[in-house]
């Protein structure tokens, strides 16, 4: 979601892929050869005689679980909700085994022999999702409305006062807004410095002080230098690259067609078409939030925020 995957992102993908592979192979085994599976998993015999239909039912649950986790493994930042849904069956299965050993339905010996295959996969998925959440490299889309709105209010305070309006709008307006935030944070080919400068220039041109502050804070959280951002806001970019990206965002937001085209062509010549596309998306997203505030009567004129 935020730039190219790093080493920890790859670790998360590997963990999810491992859990998905286990669930898919296990499910296929149960579906294709239920009695062979019954003989292979020796401890299951303690639960009663083999029932092919029942074993296949459980195999289908494993297949659905594995498919959901595999889907999440391709892009954990965006699809972490799918990983949790996929792990729900695995977690419930593990809780049942814990209940049975605590109540004496099965012995500790059988429980601990089953534990790696029963408790291991759901724990792997939960650890993987926890890593992404802890690093804040996740999409807000899977969050329930109340959790999302509460988190945003704590994050930005009074700078974005329209969340209650979105909540009251109905028609899943908040969920649709969450998807727009994913687009606002996207970059892959473009250097993050150019993305943040383009978004900053676009937001600054919209003449909205609190939104500029929010964009600046997100850039700081992504490792941008505060003086570099401040110089761009004050009209003295530190480099030609910063001036080009900031000006590109300004031109897009202000509707200066000729300047936007000229700067866009320069960006494309220096980098690539995909970089120009990503910077365009960054600049376009910078216009969304000030526009919402203006429409709802929350806009304020821009006072350039000071750093530190």
> What are 196-214's pLDDT values in tens digits?
999 999 998 886 677 888 8
Same domain, 25 and 129: yes
Percent of the chain with pLDDT over 90: 59
Q: Is a pLDDT exceeding 90 seen at residue 292? A: no
- Terminal CA-to-CA distance of the chain, rounded, Å? 28
**Is 151 within the bounds of a domain?**
no
Q: What is the mean pLDDT of the chain?
A: 90
Same-domain pairing of 12 and 131 = yes
Per-residue pLDDT tens for 216-274? Answer: 888 888 889 999 999 998 989 999 999 999 999 999 999 999 999 999 999 999 999 99
Q: What is the CATH number of the domain that holds 284?
A: 1.20.1290.10
Burial of 50 (0-12, 13-18, 19+ CB in 10 A): middle
Q: Contact at 8 Å (CB) between 72 and 82?
A: yes
How far apart, in whole angstroms, are the C-alpha atoms of residue 196 and residue 204?
12
CA 291 to chain centre: 24
Give the separation between CA 119 and CA 21, rounded to whole angstroms: 15
The 3-class secondary structure across 183-238, one letter per residue, is HHCCECCCCHHHHHHHHHHHHHHCCCHHHHHHHHHHHHHCCCCHHHHHHHHCCCCC
Last residue of a domain, one of 106, 135, 164: 135
CA angle 60, 61, 66 (to 5 degrees): 95
**Shared-domain flag, residues 206 and 274:** yes
Q: Say if residues 37 and 30 touch (Cβ distance below 8 Å).
A: yes
Residue 179 within any structural domain of the chain: no
Query: 75 vs 2, 67, 69, 83, CA distance in Å?
Result: 11, 14, 10, 10
| Separation of alpha carbons 222 and 276, rounded Å | 20
User: Residue 279 has what pLDDT?
Assistant: 96
- 198 and 127 part of one domain: no
Q: Quickly state the pLDDT bin for 2 (edges 50, 70, 90).
A: low
Angle (CA) 112-118-124 rounded to 5° is 115
Q: Work out how many domains the chain is built from and give that number.
A: 2
Residue 126 lies in a domain: yes
CA distance 275 to 268: 7
Q: pLDDT tier at 158 (50, 70, 90 boundaries)?
A: low
Instruction: Write down the pLDDT at residue 85.
Output: 97
Count Cα neighbours of 191 within 13 Å in the Cβ-side half-sphere: 11
pLDDT higher than 70, residue 187: yes
**CA atoms within 13 Å, Cβ hemisphere of 282:** 36
Q: Give the end of a domain, one of 116, 135, 154.
A: 135
pLDDT at 35 exceeding the cut of 90 = yes
Structure token digits, residue 99: 């209940």
Residue 146, in any domain of the structure: no
Q: Are residues 125 and 194 in the same domain?
A: no
Please report which confidence band the pLDDT of residue 43 belongs to, taking 50, 70 and 90 as the band edges: confident
What are 2's strand-pairing partners?
187
At residue 305, does pLDDT exceed 60? Answer: no
pLDDT band for position 298 (cuts 50, 70, 90):
confident
> Is residue 156 situated within a structural domain?
no
- Of 101, 118, 135, the one marking the end of a domain is 135
pLDDT confidence of 152, banded at 50, 70, 90?
confident
pLDDT for residue 161 is more than 90? no
For residue 17, the model assigns a pLDDT of 98
Domain span at 194? 185-295
Q: Which of 42-46, 74-78, 242-246, 297-301 has the lowest mean pLDDT?
A: 297-301
Asked if residue 173 belongs to a domain, the reply is: no
């Amino acid at each position: 979601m935020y730039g190219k995957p790093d080493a920890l992102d790859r670790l998360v993908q590997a963990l999810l892929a491992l859990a998905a592979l286990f669930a898919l192979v296990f499910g296929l085994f149960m579906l294709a050869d239920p009695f062979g599976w019954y003989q292979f998993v020796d401890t299951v015999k303690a639960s009663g005689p083999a029932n092919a239909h029942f074993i296949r039912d459980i195999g289908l649950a494993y297949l659905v679980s594995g498919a959901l986790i595999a889907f999440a493994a391709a892009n954990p930042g965006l699809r972490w909700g799918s990983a949790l849904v996929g792990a729900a069956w695995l977690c419930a299965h593990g809780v049942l085994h814990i209940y049975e050993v605590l109540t004496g339905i099965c012995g500790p010996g059988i429980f601990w022999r089953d534990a790696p295959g029963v408790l291991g996969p759901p724990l792997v998925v939960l650890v993987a999702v926890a890593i992404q959440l802890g690093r804040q490299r996740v999409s807000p889309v899977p969050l329930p409305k109340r959790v999302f709105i509460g988190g945003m209010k704590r994050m930005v305070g009074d700078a974005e006062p329209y969340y209650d309006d979105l909540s009251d709008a109905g028609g899943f307006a908040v969920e649709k807004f969450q998807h727009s935030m994913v687009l606002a944070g996207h970059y892959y080919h473009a250097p993050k410095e150019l993305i943040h400068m383009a978004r900053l220039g676009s937001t600054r041109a919209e003449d909205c002080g609190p939104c500029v502050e929010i964009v600046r804070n997100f850039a700081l959280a992504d490792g941008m230098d505060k003086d570099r951002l401040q110089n761009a806001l004050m009209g003295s970019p530190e480099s030609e690259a910063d001036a080009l990206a900031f000006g590109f965002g300004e031109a897009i937001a202000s509707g200066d067609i000729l300047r936007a085209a000229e700067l866009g062509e320069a960006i494309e010549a220096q980098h690539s078409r995909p970089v120009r596309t990503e910077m365009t998306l960054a600049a376009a997203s910078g216009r969304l939030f000030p526009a919402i505030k203006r429409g709802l009567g929350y806009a304020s004129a821009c006072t350039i925020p000071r750093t530190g």
